[in-house]
């Protein structure tokens, strides 16, 4: 098995209220990705393969990183459709979509719990289907040759951690909320299984002049 480095995409359109509007990088998101790409080069971090989902924010992040690798685009690496799920929760259960960041802390666990329990009729995919596709994608990537770099989204990364650490839904939601844009997460094969050895690292954003770029939304 090969080790996998997961990267959350750069900051997207933080004012969006639907999937399509959200799916593009902000100027800051492109800068975050460029800084991360430069960090990888400066540290001589070696990857032989690059994977992304098929979402614009994944593709734009990978391009801004300038790794020199040709990306393999895999729809199994796409994010869960949070805005779609949240809209369905509002219609079906009267749970309003948050308008400020602090409200997401309470909103996300409720959405994840209802989704896992198949209580969202308008869900674009089931929780079980999301879990299965993430697991299959990571297994396939780990079975390839050489260290792989994967540009994806925070919800997917939290699912990877759930599967590895056997997290319950509140813990998975808390982890998803904590993930920075362009943060780095590493899964290493130990005993025939992928185990997390790095979570939510942002060394490229640690200089004081870049603290403003440590964003979640």
- Res 82 pLDDT > 80: yes
> In 3D, which of 6, 36, 10 has the Cα closest to residue 180?
10
> What pLDDT score was predicted for residue 101?
73
Write the pLDDT tens digit of every residue in 90-128.
Answer: 999 999 988 777 788 999 999 999 999 999 999 999 999
> In 3D, which of 138, 135, 91, 137 has the Cα closest to residue 114?
91
Residue 185 in contact with residue 5, Cβ under 8 Å? yes
* Mean pLDDT of all residues belonging to the chain: 95
Domain ranges of the chain: 6-206
Query: Considering the entire predicted model, what is its pTM?
Result: 0.95
Residue 6 in contact with residue 148, Cβ under 8 Å? no
* Residue partners of 182: CB distance under 8 A and separation at least 6: 7, 8, 9, 10, 29, 32, 33, 35, 36, 61, 202, 204, 205
Write the pLDDT tens digit of every residue in 153-194.
Answer: 999 999 999 999 999 999 999 999 999 999 999 999 999 899
At the second CATH level, the architecture of 6-206 is: 3-Layer(aba) Sandwich (3.40)
- Res 4 pLDDT > 80: yes
Mean pLDDT within 134-152: 97
- Res 137 pLDDT > 80: yes
Write the pLDDT tens digit of every residue in 35-58.
Answer: 999 999 999 998 999 999 999 999
Percentage, residues of the chain above pLDDT 90: 89
Percentage, residues of the chain above pLDDT 70: 100
> What pLDDT score was predicted for residue 54?
98
> What pLDDT score was predicted for residue 121?
97
């Amino acid at each position: 098995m090969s080790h996998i480095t997961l990267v959350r995409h750069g900051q997207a359109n933080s004012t969006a209220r639907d999937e399509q509007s959200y799916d593009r990088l902000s100027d800051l998101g492109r800068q975050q990705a460029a800084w991360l790409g430069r960090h990888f080069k400066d540290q001589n971090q070696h990857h032989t393969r690059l994977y992304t989902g098929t979402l614009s924010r994944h593709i734009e992040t990978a391009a801004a990183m300038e790794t020199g690798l040709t990306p393999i685009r895999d729809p199994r690496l796409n994010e869960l459709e949070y805005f779609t799920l949240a809209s369905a929760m509002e219609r079906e259960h009267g749970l309003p979509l948050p308008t400020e960041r602090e409200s997401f802390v309470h909103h996300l666990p409720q959405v994840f719990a209802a989704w896992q329990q198949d209580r969202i009729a308008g869900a674009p995919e089931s929780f079980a289907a999301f879990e299965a596709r993430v697991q299959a994608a990571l297994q396939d990537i780990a079975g390839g040759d050489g260290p792989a770099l994967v540009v994806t989204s925070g919800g997917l990364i939290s699912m990877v951690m759930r599967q590895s650490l056997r997290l319950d839904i509140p813990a998975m939601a808390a982890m998803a909320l904590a993930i920075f844009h362009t943060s780095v997460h590493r899964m290493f094969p130990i005993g025939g299984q992928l185990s997390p050895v790095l979570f939510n690292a942002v060394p490229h954003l640690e200089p004081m002049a870049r603290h403003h770029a440590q964003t979640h939304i």
